[in-house]
Amino acid sequence: MAGTLPRRECAAMVLGGPTTVIDVGGLRIVVDPTFDDPGPHGPVTKTTGPAVTEDALGPVDLVLVSHDQHPDNLDERGRAFALAAPLILTGPLTAARLGPPALALPVWSGHTVPRPDGGELHVLAVPAVHGPEDGPRDADGNINCEVTGFVLSGTGIPTVYVSGDNASLRTVAKIARRVPAPDVAVLFGGAARVPMLFENRPMTLDGSGVCAAAAILDAPVVIPVHHDGWGHFSSPRTDIERAFHEAGLSSLLRPAGHGTWIPLK
């Protein structure tokens, strides 16, 4: 297809918001696809479109959906894109709502995907808490809604942690105790706030929280995402950069702009 983004051997590209392309082992993986034009989505407003459109990505092998109930993580065009993929991995409640090709991954369960290079990609579902830990829980025991993080691993490729929308450093510590230190951490930030929820307290990590999560995980490469492109974010990328600078950890950050490839090893 003309204009299709060529695949890379081992790299990632942030398209805006949470949407991230990860090319490893011959696979093209897309995290939380959001491709709508700027505009209102209920109580939140998209302010910037993606750096690369869905058509330019060409065929993808796997879509990871942290959750489907918030448009800043799965908007209308992102949903259509995900449902056209051969496989979606996501949490059980989200999988039930999306239907095929979504496969349910309960927390701490995994799924293996064959790689074109002859190896395997193992995807482990890990927990995420989408709001303050003392927030009310729904009938399924979730704060705000079910959110799933992911750890990608396999022989010959870097281990990549994708946080999903998470505001809990205790949850990050729990993951760090159970999973070897990742080579790359894709950390959702932005300190998302919606006035009618949780007394307007953040539902995702702010800049200091992203820095603390990186330190807990001991990840040598940190790709911050989901801190721009929507009006309900209260902690921009500059907050993340300041926190890492003050902690002496700026060398971990990969500062490439949206639509630019970031080598993963």
CATH number, domain containing residue 29: 3.60.15.10
| Joined tokens for residue 208 | 């200091």
Per-residue confidence (pLDDT) for residue 1, from 0 to 100 = 38
Domain ranges, residue 85: 10-249
Q: Which amino acid type is present at position 50?
A: P
Q: Which residues pair with 137 in a beta bridge?
A: 143
Helix ranges (DSSP H) in 40-127: 76-83, 92-98
In a domain, 153, yes or no: yes
In a domain, 259, yes or no: no
Query: Which of 170, 253, 183 lies closest to 211 in space, CA to CA?
Result: 253
In a domain, 209, yes or no: yes
What is the per-residue DSSP string for 105-142?
A: --TT-EEEEE-TTS-EEEEEEEE---S-TTSPB-TTS-
Q: Which pTM does this prediction carry?
A: 0.96
Q: Which residues pair with 21 in a beta bridge?
A: 13, 30
Residue 211 half-sphere exposure, CB side, CA atoms within 13 Å?
19
In a domain, 117, yes or no: yes
Phi, psi of 57 (to 5 degrees): -80, -20
- Classify residue 117 by burial, with Cβ atoms within 10 Å: 0-12, 13-18, 19+: middle
Task: Provide the number of structural domains found in the chain.
Answer: 1
Which portions of the chain are predicted below pLDDT 50?
Answer: 1-2
In a domain, 263, yes or no: no
